[in-house]
Amino acid sequence: MIIGHDIAGIREDAEGRRSIDVVNPANGSIVGAVVAGDSEDVDRAVAAAVAAFDAWSTRPMSQRIAHVEALAEGLARHRERLAATLSAEMGSPIAFSRAAQVGVAIADLARLVDAARSHVARESVSNSLVIAEPVGVVAAITPWNFPLHQIMLKVGAAILAGCTVVLKPSEVAPLNAALVGDILREIDLPAGVVNIVHGDGAGVGSALVTHPAVDMVTFTGSRSVGEGVARAAAATIKKVALELGGKSAAIVLEDAPIEESVDSVLASCFANAGQTCAAQTRVLVPASLLDAWQDAAVRATAGWAPGDPADESTATGPVASGLQRDRVRAHIETAIDQGARLLAGGLDIVEPTAGGAYVQPTIFTDVTPEMRIFHEEVFGPVLTITPYATVDEAVDLANDSVYGLSGGVWSSDPRRAFDVALRMRTGTVGINGAGLDVGAPFGGYKQSGIGRECGVHGFEEFLELKSVMGAAALIDDHS
């Protein structure tokens, strides 16, 4: 069955429409299909969002919060169905899908609700009344690696802020978004507040980004596509939020515990088959610890053996598609050609993964800044190890990147780790294995993007500020 768009609260008929198959990367089977949308579909969805905006933007915050809380309850109610869908369409192991893909999405909404509940929409500044207002109609374009998490961060924050949304989920993993559409109808979200248009970037994404009635674009994806989004949106001076790539470094200091740091770095790099924008894929190790750290990493890699994502014990599933597998393998081939030394994994395809889009969790050492693997985002389960002589050198190596999304520091002295973290030019840094905090702002420096997601700062991305000069004394009348 082909799944149609969700526009103005209605799941549209897909009969006779061109479609896009959704392929299970574990075995190549077709697990669903969605309509391949076009600019006319975008026009109808944007018109529905425009029509819904006035009523939604003026609803009391308490009512908007109630809808988002109901959405979170709907995700929890359908957790198993969502987890199985995500596992089938993009290969995430079922246990990870349940806990991280769905569990984190629910947590996202809880923290966004906290932000909305504490938000002060009007404040006196100098002689003015400063009012925070919704930006308007939002185009939300989401990726395939953490699809539900990204949908909730964008859609949840936008509708809490009073915006209306046209969502374009990734055509690689769109089925979870269709389930979200079902849940939005279950909770009686007003028609047109959230619209879902399926399709690819050429057919739907470009039309959304350039649409004159879209006020803001929020995009998560690759750096190259993000540049194209920014250029296209600039023609109409839209507000743009971009969460792009990363090539994040973990700095292991000489007093760090070896086993704990190895386990943490490998979890960051290999979870979700390495398809995490904030993955710590470069580890910088002092020369004095190099042999011991590498030996521990090779031993620990055995625990990340690929397997069937439907199996509860699987740690590493396939990457999301055959195309992505080929991209990752090309990076591995280039690293070998450029002299990186393979410690684990590599290009071999082993049973029982031969029929799917699998890549062996891979570790390279002797990696230098002259190699492409040191700088380019792989977006697969590939870790590089680079030794260093001094902490200053480690910080310089960590910052030697066009990206600045995430990073980590390991030390037996948390204060020392904190001091090093302050020197890293990146939007988030985890000390001693601390991971994603969905209540804190997430986003990057440099070419990792513009703006922030999660919590208060993610909510505020969808607001505009209006200064009413001479009205500061009226704040009590308009609170």
Question: What are the residue numbers of the active site?
Answer: 243, 277
- From residue 184, alpha-carbon distances to 12, 23, 252, 321 in Å are 15, 25, 45, 29
Pairing verdict, β 360-365 and 382-388:
parallel
* Whole-number Å distance between alpha carbons of 61 and 215: 21
Pick from 404, 363, 418: nearest CA to 385: 363
Distance of CA 141 to the CA centre of its chain: 11
Instruction: Tell me 144's DSSP state.
Output: S
Owner of token pair 């919590």: 455
| Distant-in-sequence, close-in-space partners of 77: CB < 8 Å, separation ≥ 6 | none
* Whole-number Å distance between alpha carbons of 457 and 258: 35
DSSP 119-137: ---EEEETTEEEEEEE--E
* Whole-number Å distance between alpha carbons of 305 and 381: 11
| Distant-in-sequence, close-in-space partners of 223: CB < 8 Å, separation ≥ 6 | 244, 245, 377, 402, 403, 447, 448
In this structure, the chain runs to a length of 479
| Contact by Cβ (8 Å): 411, 420 | yes
Pick from 207, 210, 243, 212: nearest CA to 225: 243
* Whole-number Å distance between alpha carbons of 447 and 376: 12
Exposed/middle/buried for residue 217 (C-beta within 10 Å: 0-12, 13-18, 19+): buried
| Contact by Cβ (8 Å): 234, 186 | no
SS3 185: helix
Helices and strands of the chain, counted as H and E runs? 17, 23
* Whole-number Å distance between alpha carbons of 244 and 328: 18
Q: Show the CA angle centred on residue 304, arms to residues 281 and 273, nearest 5°.
A: 50
**Bond prior to 352 in cis (omega within 30° of 0):** yes
